[in-house]
Chains A and B, each alone.
Chain A
């Protein structure tokens, strides 16, 4: 873990002419582009299938027709009001978690780092569980305070925790390893608070909180989708714009500074983007497990790049979350929350990585 397995694959052997658009410079990589196009197509197909599957089955043609304003009134109601918010939430959650994971893993040069290590998820969980448990009327003052509901409490918890970790990790600059350690310490205090709230709660509130803690799309609606959409539309382009600086930071701190990268400002930007993206996803769907961890590693391998490609990570994330939600709704009789499916897929993948690619992870 101490070295940079992300970079082990080596630099591109024959650098080609690039495309430069303003501050963004892109190398011409046919394989990456081809894979990205395939992932985009897969994500769109899954989106349409996901909207079609449900108690009233719709064919993909019906779905596309309803989305473009055709079809019957009933079909438009089902598609636009009931199923589209959930499918879009899943798609966006996967997109932003994939990108946040790619940013964190590249910036820490550590394939195990996810936005969770900056305390985002544990902070959001503590906030959301506090809103569920304390907002239930047990304590009157907090009902007032937490009246904004679960998403607001989760966002606040995530941002406060991340700020705390960043502040405590600062010693004349932040350094990724120290940040991870401080994140572990802060995270475990927050987890203890969450557990304490769960123990003190009524059993029905504890159940509600547990569903939230697993990560689920069942509560998705248009109102819960808008904040996520707003954050994603700003933060995703910004994340793609950091790509060049991220590439420079892979060269090691001294070299990166030497070629003109302001390393501390770059770190703050990348951490802030990862935190905001993750907080938005967690507020909308709860902490969906393993997406931010697994997706960048998959993207890295299929595209054969030296570090997780940002756009492709986002698209693979979208495909994974949509597929997991689809599986959770159809494979089992009841509904399995999407966070459980992603973990059950993601954890064996990590184990497989350990058994097959141990040199890359240990090095």
Chain B
């Protein structure tokens, strides 16, 4: 637990002590401001670069004086919604990862663990199979519903087994439910070519081809999840000491667990519904955030949010530029960058066993 606000210097402490105590808090606020700048830069890059080449000056023109030329259509109609979507997805996954790792006290916990992606995927496939068409406006609601149902199933199994939503059986139940749902997905996908076509595009995780309706559908869930995560931050610091210690500090552990799990579920469901299962953001981002702002969740959560946004937008821009005629989906770019990072983390430290 570290001091956040700079305390007023008192005669008893003296200037030097006050400065030292003020230091870390200020430094971390400075870091957060630096991250805001990083987000702004990646957002600008996301608006400026793309597979359709638009000159910088034309981008500015299209932003300031929208006309009915091609540049305006690309910038206002495609790139700005896509950038906003990237911001929502990055914020959700970064924060979900930080809460997940805080709740499970496991540096390897990934938000996908609760069966969210498998549930959303099955719902999308069923949608295509039943209604015959892939429609992003409908998919987003199906994916949300599937994600929520799957995670509730995982929690119920865990609760039936152990009485509390403790982390280790949760991970196992998540793995089992995911495998079962994936099997049903495969079953449909093998029988229906259209479902396969929709599924293979959905499952890699992409920001392209989503319209403004998708954003407005998921934003309420994302906001609710973010609010719960910020409310959970003090409790996460206490839970980090272990459930028993947290309880003796006056923490209501059950409420803290439920808040955290609800937050993770809402955030992951929102992100997965919007962009498909984008991996590795939730896993990698909290590690980066912890390295620069430390373990206190009051800083860790905002920092994870900002780093998540910057990472998703950055990876999306990279994917647009390296793909040549097509583009490489953001989920693939992130997995290819995140995998080696994960291996490096696993090699360097002796990690807590799951």
Contact = CB atoms under 8 A, between A and B. Distances in A.
B354 A198 contact: no
A12 B344 CA distance: 41
B346 A178 contact: yes
Interface in B145-187: 157-158, 160-162, 166, 168-169, 172-173, 175-177, 179-180, 182-183, 186-187
Interface string B340-354: 111100110001011
Contact of B353 (A2, A189, A343, A350): A2
Given A188-B279, A188-B280, A348-B180, A195 B203 contact: yes
A197 B256 CA distance: 42
A82 interface: no
A362 B168 contact: yes
B332 A192 contact: yes
Contact of B343 (A112, A185, A213): A185
Interface string A2-17: 1000000000000000
Contacts of B177: 347, 351
A358 B162 contact: yes
Interface string A321-363: 0000000000000101100100110111011001110100110
A182 B179 contact: no
Contact of A192 (B180, B191, B335): B335
A157 B280 CA distance: 23
A188 B157 CA distance: 26
B332 A210 contact: no
Interface in A148-189: 168-169, 171, 177-178, 181-182, 184-186, 188-189
Given A196-B204, A210-B190, A168 B183 contact: no
A12 to B, nearest CB: 28
Contacts of B342: 181, 184-185, 188
A189 B203 contact: no
A168 B173 CA distance: 29
Nearest to A190: B339
A214 interface: yes
B108 interface: yes
Interface residues of A, number: 49
Interface stretch (B61-69, B83-91, B192-200): B192-200
Interface stretch (A199-207, A276-284, A295-303): A199-207
Interface residues of B, number: 50
B158 A354 contact: yes
B204 A195 contact: yes
Contacts of B183: 289, 340, 343-344, 347
Given A189-B335, A192-B336, A199 B200 contact: yes
Contacts of B329: 196, 199
A181 B108 contact: yes
Contact of B347 (A2, A178, A210): A178
A224 interface: no
Contacts of B280: 188
B190 A351 contact: no
Given A214-B186, A355-B160, A1 B347 contact: no
Nearest to B107: A181
A199 B201 contact: yes
Contacts of B346: 178, 181-182, 184-185
B196 A196 contact: no
A107 interface: no
B169 A358 contact: yes
B225 interface: no
B328 interface: yes
A346 B179 contact: yes
Nearest to A112: B172
Interface string A213-224: 110000000000
Contacts of B180: 343-344, 347-348, 351
A211 interface: yes
B331 interface: yes
A354 B203 contact: no
B187 to A, nearest CB: 6
Contacts of A343: 179-180, 182-183
Contacts of B328: 196
Contact of A186 (B175, B332, B341, B343): B343
A191 interface: yes
Contacts of A2: 353-354
Contacts of B347: 168-169, 171, 178, 182
A115 B189 CA distance: 26
Contact of A203 (B108, B196, B354): B196
B257 to A, nearest CB: 16
7 contacts: A181-B346, A188-B338, A189-B335, A192-B336, A196-B204, A196-B328, A361-B168
Given A1-B168, A192-B331, A346-B179, 14 more contacts: A2-B353, A178-B347, A181-B342, A189-B336, A199-B201, A200-B326, A289-B179, A290-B179, A340-B187, A343-B182, A348-B180, A350-B175, A358-B169, A362-B166
Per CB-CB distance, the 5 closest pairs between chain A and chain B, nearest first, are: A192-B335, A189-B339, A181-B346, A2-B353, A185-B342
